[in-house]
């Protein structure tokens, strides 16, 4: 009888939760349906385009993992759509200027540079840009520095302190709980395993990070110095002293034009527009204006160029939205290969890497595309490192931004030895019966033997040699030359051009133009992949497939906020099976 009531209660609870979820879905679905059927609100004359960049910017619109905030009406615009929207605003007589209200901007440096170029281009039209913030982080200030007026809250600051790489080390913690990570890697600079075998940064890693970050910081500060008309040496001295730590110092040193509150910004904009004191300032958000800025598509043009956005970690299987799952992407590339209307492919890569096997599967589909006679051009974003470079290296041509992080050609494998944890800490011992010598080997309950270690290292080196051969064939370089610039070492896009890892510096538009030229196309239209699920569909998928671990991840994401990527990097690395070709650290710009 007790079990009967327990089952009845569980059934009722499940039905109750289903009704709530169904009601939520229905409400949101009807709201989105109504908004989809209604025309975009008209843009008034003398309007100001308001830009707030408070969330990560995907390469493609709405290509982000699901969360409940995605159910709101406005889209999460991708980088290419944001750039097109700013360009459209430049040409629109109804848009008089841009208002940047930006604090913490969670984007990579290459993304910030592309946005900054778009803002500079907008400013050349003679239209104004005002920027205001309570607190500018470095990327926000990098963007704001192009503005005609850079405004700051009287109690604010600019977090202008230079670039750094923050690497957590877990070895002491693992020692305390009795876990030893058996590590196998190929490449002296492949430092992804260092946090599990060292307590501080190796000299190889320290060297490569300095050689990557120093020129980037110099270029970054150089652009700010030019925009603010501050001598470079003076600006660098300010950064060294952290002179931007208070609003009054920021004003004194010329980093901002005025200290003011948010309500006063409206007054400044009203004056710029020549409006009376009581007049409203017509403001249109970036997402709203995007609906007016969509490029017209000429459907009479049959020839197409496929733009495939490969962003996020490279994982085995389908992967989540915002990841590069090899099953999903090989299916996309196969479909493109079999399409008679698609004449060329641009692969937009923004990935720190991941599974070596998944990377190789995607590499294979790129090879088959080329054999089918379709040119393949790669456009690199913030990252195209390790596995991200693996899937790029066999393209007909590779474009990178000057500050793209690329290379990291190397492989690693990690295996936990939990003998001490079980035997000494928990008092659990293990024994085995087996029919063949290797049946119970390579498990975390016993230390690896010398023979097992040799097998793991041989496998790691074999995959590294395959990686080298892929790069050698794709880039037309001797194996020895590739090995000299590989070993897990990272390079900026500018340096990668010098050593032959990329062909040219340029953005996505330039890569598309190159692909069109290779295919001999004058008139074409763009077909974008992958297809992006509507938030409602994502919600249904989440509800149908969510388990306790998914709920834990969502809770951690909400709790940790901007620090979640560090946790996520560790979580993905520990859950990964097989050899990895992955970027080993997070950069703080």
Q: Look at residue 206 and tell me whether its pLDDT is greater than 90.
A: yes
Does domain 47-161+242-293 sit in CATH 3.40.50.300?
Answer: no
Q: Report the pLDDT averaged over residues 506-525.
A: 97
Q: Look at residue 62 and tell me whether its pLDDT is greater than 70.
A: yes
pLDDT of residue 26: 52
Q: Look at residue 13 and tell me whether its pLDDT is greater than 50.
A: no
pLDDT of residue 33: 47
* Residue 423 DSSP SS3: helix
Query: What's the N-to-C CA distance of the chain in angstroms?
Result: 62
Secondary structure (DSSP) of 16-50? HHHHHHHHHHHHHHHHHHHHHHSPPPPPPTTEEEE
pLDDT of residue 265: 93
Residue 333: DSSP 8-state: H
Q: Look at residue 471 and tell me whether its pLDDT is greater than 50.
A: yes
Q: Please tell me which residue, 534 or 250, carries the higher pLDDT value.
A: 250
pLDDT of residue 29: 47
Q: Report the pLDDT averaged over residues 174-179.
A: 92
**Which of 161, 95, 100 shows the shortest CA–CA distance to 132?**
100
By annotation, the residues acting in catalysis are: 190, 386
Element holding 516 (H helix, E strand):
helix 508-519
Distance from C-alpha of 574 to C-alpha of 572, rounded to nearest angstrom: 6
Q: Look at residue 5 and tell me whether its pLDDT is greater than 80.
A: no
pLDDT mean across residues, the chain: 87
Q: Please tell me which residue, 27 or 301, carries the higher pLDDT value.
A: 301
**Which of 399, 487, 405, 393 shows the shortest CA–CA distance to 215?**
405
Q: Report the pLDDT averaged over residues 581-586.
A: 54
pLDDT of residue 190: 84
Q: Is 437 left (phi over 0), alpha (psi -120 to 50) or beta?
A: alpha
Question: Do the Cβ atoms of 192 and 282 come closer than 8 Å?
Answer: no
pLDDT of residue 536: 55
Q: Look at residue 43 and tell me whether its pLDDT is greater than 70.
A: yes
Q: Which of 119-133, 174-188, 344-358, 486-500 has the lowest mean pLDDT?
A: 174-188
Instruction: Tell me what percent of the residues of the chain surpass a pLDDT of 90.
Output: 68
Instruction: Tell me what percent of the residues of the chain surpass a pLDDT of 70.
Output: 82
- State the pLDDT confidence band at 579, using cuts at 50, 70 and 90: low
Distance from C-alpha of 582 to C-alpha of 580, rounded to nearest angstrom: 6
pLDDT of residue 324: 96
Residues 6+ apart with CB under 8 A from 539: 25, 28, 66, 68, 71
Report residue 306: phi and psi, to 5°: -85, 130
Q: Please tell me which residue, 187 or 580, carries the higher pLDDT value.
A: 187
Question: Do the Cβ atoms of 406 and 378 come closer than 8 Å?
Answer: no
Distance from C-alpha of 86 to C-alpha of 52, rounded to nearest angstrom: 13
pLDDT of residue 189: 87
Distance from C-alpha of 72 to C-alpha of 200, rounded to nearest angstrom: 44
Class of domain 304-588: alpha beta
**Number of other residues whose CB lies within 10 A of the CB of residue 91:** 10
Which residues on neighbouring strands pair with residue 305, listed in sequence order? 344, 526
Q: Look at residue 82 and tell me whether its pLDDT is greater than 60.
A: yes
Q: Report the pLDDT averaged over residues 452-477.
A: 94
* Residue 233 DSSP SS3: helix
pLDDT of residue 70: 52
Q: Please tell me which residue, 541 or 74, carries the higher pLDDT value.
A: 74
Residue 81: DSSP 8-state: H
pLDDT of residue 322: 87
pLDDT of residue 9: 47
Angle at 195 between CA 314 and CA 323, to 5 degrees: 15
Q: Report the pLDDT averaged over residues 494-521.
A: 97
Distance from C-alpha of 523 to C-alpha of 516, rounded to nearest angstrom: 9
Q: Look at residue 537 and tell me whether its pLDDT is greater than 60.
A: no
pLDDT of residue 373: 96
């Amino acid at each position: 009888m007790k079990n009967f009531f327990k089952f009845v209660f569980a059934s009722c609870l499940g039905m109750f939760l289903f009704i709530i979820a169904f009601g939520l879905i229905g409400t949101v679905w009807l709201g989105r349906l109504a908004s989809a059927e209604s025309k975009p609100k008209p843009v008034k004359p003398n309007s100001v385009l308001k830009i707030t960049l408070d969330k990560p910017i995907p390469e493609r619109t709405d290509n982000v993992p699901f969360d409940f905030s995605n159910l709101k009406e406005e889209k999460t615009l991708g980088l290419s759509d944001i750039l097109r929207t700013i360009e459209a605003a430049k040409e629109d007589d109804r848009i008089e200027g841009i208002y940047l209200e930006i604090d913490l901007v969670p984007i990579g440096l290459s993304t910030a540079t592309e946005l900054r170029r778009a803002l500079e281009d907008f400013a050349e039209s003679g239209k104004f840009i005002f920027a205001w913030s309570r607190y500018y982080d470095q990327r926000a200030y990098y963007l704001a520095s192009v503005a005609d007026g850079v405004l700051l809250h009287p109690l604010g600051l600019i977090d202008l302190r230079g670039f750094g790489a923050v690497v957590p080390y877990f070895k002491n913690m693992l020692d305390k709980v009795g876990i030893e990570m058996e590590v196998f890697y190929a490449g002296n600079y492949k430092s992804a395993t260092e946090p599990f075998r060292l307590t501080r940064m190796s000299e190889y890693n320290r060297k490569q990070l300095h050689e990557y970050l120093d020129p980037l910081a110099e270029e970054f500060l150089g652009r700010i110095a030019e925009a603010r008309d501050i001598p470079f040496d003076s600006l660098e001295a300010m950064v060294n002293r952290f002179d931007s730590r208070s609003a009054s110092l920021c004003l004194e040193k010329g980093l901002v034009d005025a200290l003011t509150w948010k309500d006063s910004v409206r007054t400044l904009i009203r004056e710029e527009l020549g409006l009376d004191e009581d007049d409203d300032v017509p403001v249109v958000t970036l997402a709203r204006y995007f609906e007016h800025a969509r490029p017209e598509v000429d459907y009479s043009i049959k020839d197409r160029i496929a733009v495939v956005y490969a962003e996020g970690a490279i994982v085995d299987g389908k992967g989540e939205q915002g990841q590069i799952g090899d099953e999903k992407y090989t299916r996309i590339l196969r479909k493109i290969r079999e399409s008679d209307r698609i004449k060329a492919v641009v692969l937009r890569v923004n990935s720190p890497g991941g599974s070596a096997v998944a990377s190789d599967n995607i590499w294979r589909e790129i090879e088959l595309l080329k054999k089918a006679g379709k040119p393949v051009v790669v456009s690199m974003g913030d990252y195209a490192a390790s596995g991200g470079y693996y899937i790029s290296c066999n393209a007909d041509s590779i474009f990178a931004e000057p500050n793209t992080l690329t290379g990291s050609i190397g492989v690693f494998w990690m295996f936990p030895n939990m003998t001490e944890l079980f035997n000494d800490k928990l008092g659990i011992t293990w024994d085995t019966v087996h029919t063949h010598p290797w049946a119970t080997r390579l498990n975390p309950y016993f230390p690896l033997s010398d023979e097992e270690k040799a097998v793991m290292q041989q496998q790691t080196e074999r995959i590294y040699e395959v990686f080298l051969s892929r790069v050698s064939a794709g880039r037309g370089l001797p194996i020895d030359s590739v090995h000299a610039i590989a070993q897990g070492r990272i390079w900026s896009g500018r340096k990668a051009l010098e050593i032959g890892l990329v062909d040219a510096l340029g953005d996505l538009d330039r890569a598309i133009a190159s692909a069109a030229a290779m295919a001999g196309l004058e008139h074409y239209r763009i077909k974008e992949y992958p297809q992006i699920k509507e938030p409602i569909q994502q919600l249904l998928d989440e509800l149908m497939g969510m388990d306790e671990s998914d709920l834990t991840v969502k809770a951690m994401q909400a709790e940790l906020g901007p620090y979640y990527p560090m946790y996520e990097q560790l979580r993905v690395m520990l859950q990964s099976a097989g050899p990895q070709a992955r970027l080993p650290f997070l950069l703080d710009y």
